Structure 1
Amino acid sequence: MSRAPRNEAARRSWGDDDSATNILHVDMDAFFAAVELLEHPELRGRPVIVGGADGRGVVSAATYEARAWGVSSAMSMAEAMRRCPQAVVLPVRHGVYSRVSAQVMEVLGEVTPVLERVSIDEAFLDVSGSRRRMGSPVQIAHWVRTQVRGRLGLPASVGIASTKFVAKLASSHAKPDGLLLVPAAATQDFLDVLPVGAMWGVGDKSARELARWGITDVRTLAATDVRRLERILGTAAAHHLHDLAHGIDPRPVTVSREEKSVGTESTFFDTITDREDARRVLLDQCHQCAARLRQVGTRGRTVVLKARGADFVTVTRSRTLSAPTDLARDIFAVIEALFDALPQPPGGFRLLGVRVEGLSRADDGVQLLLDEDPRRGAPERAADAVRARWGRGAVAPASLLRSPQPPED
């Protein structure tokens, strides 16, 4: 769910020359919520939040009606309900979303094998090899949207551009349920009208720092000397943003490999500076990973922590367990230790993620440790049964319980 600022001027037509725009970014609109609305059509037009109930956990998705009230992904449920108390809350069902996501990717796979799955609800396609068979990039984008809507009943927005970065920006501005082409020759003009906060990695703090120097839009950012940007943002962030502001993004579409891990990560529009808030996000992610492992009948041996700071420096730390696990308590014990040893990045955390690798089937022969209690996983498996019957919000770790704040007068 993108919360970056947009500019209505960027939504206009930039021309119809798609001869040099082989990159498509397909982004499902409010994916989890859209899938839930297939089963609850009576909720269409109402604010719907997918996440934990009764102030537990964080928001996983929200309809555009809920977003209008300031609800966004990774926000605590308590804060979301304070902002939009009339919202209908539905529990997260990762298994359902994974199955629908696989169907979406099957549609995209019919276009080209050069497909990079970015997350459960978005992907990049390089359609340069599909032109002779399916037509121009714009024709292909129309085909994708029609097929996804016709087969699955879901809206998808598509951005078309010459680079991955601009294609993603285009799909963001095409939302909801739209298509936007940015011809190669119009790339700089498109970028110039955007607020600086629309750039990847520019949150509130960075935007305020840039604004102090009079840099509030991409046009000004692009015209600013990179040495001045280094003084404002630091070396890595300065060069990163300077390149993007000029439409420079040489990354190719990378074919996604078969998943050999289970993980989840969250990118925050406003960086997290409070370590306890970061710890709660990680705990929730550990429970999501563990639940998915148990759901598909697998266990993992290696636990990985991923963190990205406001300075765009990304670090990963991992530790291998003596025996594979599918329990959040084991995963979080490792994540917490790795996180405690991680220095606080300047400006806070922009991204946090948890991943479990080295997967094996839960029913494979695994030698138990001599002191292992086979009942130690009973509470989490019992919680699985409760959620299966009463919904994901029916039970949650006590650390994720946060009392809703009283409404302001």
Structure 2
Amino acid sequence: MTTSSTILHLRVHRADFETYRELFTVLGDTTPVVQALPPDSALLDLAGATRYFALTPAQLADRLQTRLAARYGLASTGGIGPTRMLATLAADTAAPGTVHVLPDEWTDFLRGRPLRALPGIGPALERTLARYGIETVGDLADLPLATVQRIAGSSTGRLLHERAHGTDRRTVTPAGPPAGITSTHRFERDVLDPAEIRRALLAAATDLGARLRAARQIARTIELQVTYADRSTTARSRTLREPTAHTPALQRVLYDLFAALALQRARVRAVTVRVGELATAAQAAEQLTFDRLIEDARTLEPVIDRAGHRFGVGAVRPAVLLGN
């Protein structure tokens, strides 16, 4: 392959949601073709910028990293490749604070990646393919299309077959970060214990519920993103039947989304929760649940919120979170 590399996947380290939104002013000064990948990444098509600035993609990436560090004190890591997928894979293998630029001959790099690196392969499909001795992208690329489709299904098999050969039909679509509120928990070590992950999800629900109520807002959508030890991610989202700012409602949805991932031995590095499609709380139509525990929790929330306003966020929180 000799396709020139012009797609940059840039990942910013430890930026809160508000700062993340501000970054797009800097990114937009380099190229108008910028797509947000919340909570901490962006895709940039540098094809036009290389001609305008008379700089290589690597030089443009270095320029961006320098500006982000100078303006926000943020470190960033990136990858440059000819497609979205390859740029992301390059970013996943870059040393922190650097940019990995794929060579024109990137086939060997792709073939050596583990299956999980390919978008569209989650833990369940990875386990299925492993039972057939398929462990790397190269193993998958060597199979006939019909075989992949027999294992993964017609449409999924065709998509995986294309991506195993480096084809990614997705383009960089200009889009800024969506309106919403985000809460991220990064574990001090990679975590296997589901109970510890659920505690982090409870903390996120508690945090987001309090922030929504303080802003007098409700959310209609909730998204969970799990980041694994190899820095790959899986995301699940749900549109709520009733917009809410109630912590127990957010908690139940997060637990359901996490359970649907069916993670077994996956090592988790971080969980990120985002609530979106925000509206003013005055638009909420609360329905009685006739569940005493839920109604009691709703009654208690204003008391917790007043305590948080007076003594600081987290002054009153679930006992399971004490010591976190």
Q: TM-score, normalised by structure 2?
A: 0.71
Match of 2:66 among 146, 161, 174: 146
CA shift for structure 1 position 177: 0.9
Question: Does the 8 A contact of 1:306 with 1:317 survive in 2?
Answer: no
User: Relative contact order (C-alpha < 8 Å, sep 6+): which is higher?
Assistant: 1
Contact 1:386 1:395 in 2 (8 A): no
Aligned pair partner of 2:57 in 115, 124, 137? 137
Other-structure match for 1:168: 88
**Residue number in structure 2 paired with 1:299:** 217
**Partner residue in 2 for 1:27:** 11
**Is the 1:285–1:354 contact (alpha carbons within 8 Å) kept by the matching residues of 2?**
no
Task: Go from structure 1 to structure 2 and tell me whether the alpha carbon gap of 1:367 and 1:111 turns closer, same or farther (over 3 Å shift).
Answer: closer
Maintained 8 Å contact 1:27/1:122: yes
Once the two structures are superposed, residues 224-257 of structure 1 have per-residue CA deviations (whole angstroms, 9 ceiling, x without a partner) of: 1233334444555533432221111111112224
Q: Which moved more, 1:282-291 or 1:152-161?
A: 282-291
Residue aligning to 1:128: 47
Q: 2:114 corresponds to which letter in structure 1?
A: P
Matches within 5 A, 1:4-403: 20-28=4-12, 31-32=13-14, 97-135=16-54, 136-183=56-103, 185-202=104-121, 206-235=125-154, 237-257=156-176, 259-262=178-181, 282-294=201-213, 297-300=215-218, 302-304=220-222, 316-321=238-243, 325-332=244-251, 335=253, 339=256, 355-360=275-280, 376-383=301-308, 386-388=311-313, 396-398=317-319
**What's the CA shift string for 1:271-314, capped at 9, x where partnerless?**
x997x88865654442242244356x240152446799xxx996
Unaligned runs of 5+ in 1: 1-13, 36-96, 404-409
Number of equivalenced pairs: 301
| Structure 1 contact 304–319 (Cα < 8 Å) conserved | no
Does structure 1 conserve the Cα–Cα contact (< 8 Å) formed by 2:36 and 2:177? no
Q: Secondary structure at the match of 2:48?
A: coil
- By how many angstroms is 1:207 displaced? 4.2
Cα distance change on mapping 1:395 and 1:134 into 2, 3 Å: farther
Question: Letter of the aligned partner of 1:377 in structure 2?
Answer: P
Unaligned runs of 5+ in 2: 227-233, 289-294
Partner of 2:291: none
Shift of 1:100: 2.9
- C-alpha separation in 1, matches of 2:140 and 2:102: 20
Instruction: Name the counterpart of 1:4.
Output: none
TM-superposed deviation, 1:169: 0.9
Q: Does the Cα contact within 8 Å between 2:36 and 2:176 map onto a contact in 1? A: no
Q: Is the contact between residue 262 and residue 357 of structure 1 (CA under 8 Å) also seen in structure 2? A: no
Distance verdict in 2 for CA 1:158–1:345, change over 3 Å: closer
